[in-house]
Structure 1
Amino acid sequence: MSYPPPSGPPEDEQPPSPYEPPRDQSPYAPPPAGQPPQPDQPAYELPAERSPYGPPGDQPSYGHQGPQQSAHWSQQPPYPPQGPYGQYGPPPAGPGRGTNVLAILSLVFAFVFPPAGAVLGHVAKRQIRTSGEDGDQLATWGLILGYVFTGLTVLACCGWLALVAFSNTGDSGGY
């Protein structure tokens, strides 16, 4: 089977494109002496001055797949895509590294029922020493506040009793 010959000799080239420099001239060379440079483009470009986006929007992009970008040569390149967000917050608790529950309760009970806060603080400190859990400062503050509020409560009760006792020492017989 024979194919028809091509419609023209293989040496025929397409007419030169106005967007490409002549093949015998380097793209970095200045234009010939008789030809002024184009006003929108410099006479020559250094490789560092070339846009990472390809030619400007008024020129076609050769071999570029995807949407046409009309970025100016001095425009800042886009930011790289952001990676996935990391996990924030305290690190995961390892074996035996949680906060002691009795230490938390000692601080809470120091305000609610102070003697219980002091007792729970002592028990929590003993557990923390043996298990290595966190919460030593919570237990210490539970102890301190438990004793302080217990002392203030005892003083308030003694003051109230003294007030009642002194108020009944006057006339008891009336007029």
Structure 2
Amino acid sequence: MTTPPSGNDPYQPYGQPPNQPYGQPAAPYGYTPPPATNGMAIASLVVSIVSLVVCAGFTGFIGAILGHVAKSQMKRTNEQGGGLALAGIIVGWLGFALFIVGAVLFVALVVWAENSIDDCYTDSDGYFTCD
């Protein structure tokens, strides 16, 4: 017949120590998990690439602004993702700049075409007339 262990027993029974939750400790042996990647940095790169591919850079400034916000958040929270944020900024502003250049070229082409087309027509009498 055995007696239950008392509080002053030098030998601990096998198993989980008393008053502790089951399983391994959350961070055994001083291991700290790596910092998380900033979600805003990921969103910055995704929005910038989608803007460049789908919208021809029109909304690239949104991705660039998200990248700037992500970089400021990462300074405060020590999260990872600086490269993603930088790539989102570069791709976003580059796409938006390409959109602006394309829009200016389109307007210049329309103005040039309007000025270079002769205002000639055939009147109701069948005569070809230019103004």
C-alpha distance after superposition, 1:96-120 (max 9, x if no partner): x111011001101112231101100
Structure with larger RCO (C-alpha < 8 A, sep 6+): 2
The residue aligned with 1:99 is 37
| 1:162 partnered with 2:108 | yes
Counterparts of 1:93 and 1:161, CA distance in 2: 57
More strand per residue: 2
What is the TM-score when the length of structure 1 is the normalising length? 0.44
Aligned partner of 1:150 among 96, 104, 110: 96
RMSD, matched Cα: 1.9
In the TM superposition, residue 173 of structure 1 has moved relative to its aligned partner by: 4.0
Q: 5 Å matches for 1:1-175?
A: 94=33, 97-111=35-49, 112=51, 113-170=59-116, 171-174=118-121, 175=128
More helix per residue: 2
In the TM superposition, residue 93 of structure 1 has moved relative to its aligned partner by: 7.9
SS across alignment from 1:98: coil
Counterparts of 1:131 and 1:172, CA distance in 2: 65
Structure 1 runs of 4+ with >4 Å offset: none
In the TM superposition, residue 164 of structure 1 has moved relative to its aligned partner by: 0.7
What is the TM-score when the length of structure 2 is the normalising length? 0.58
Unaligned 5+ runs, structure 2: 1-30, 52-58, 122-127
SS across alignment from 1:102: helix
Counterparts of 1:93 and 1:103, CA distance in 2: 23
Q: Which amino acid aligns with 1:94?
A: P
Aligned length: 83
In the TM superposition, residue 128 of structure 1 has moved relative to its aligned partner by: 0.4
Unaligned 5+ runs, structure 1: 1-91
SS across alignment from 2:115: coil
Larger Rg, first or second structure (1 or 2): 1
C-alpha distance after superposition, 1:14-36 (max 9, x if no partner): xxxxxxxxxxxxxxxxxxxxxxx
Counterparts of 1:136 and 1:120, CA distance in 2: 12
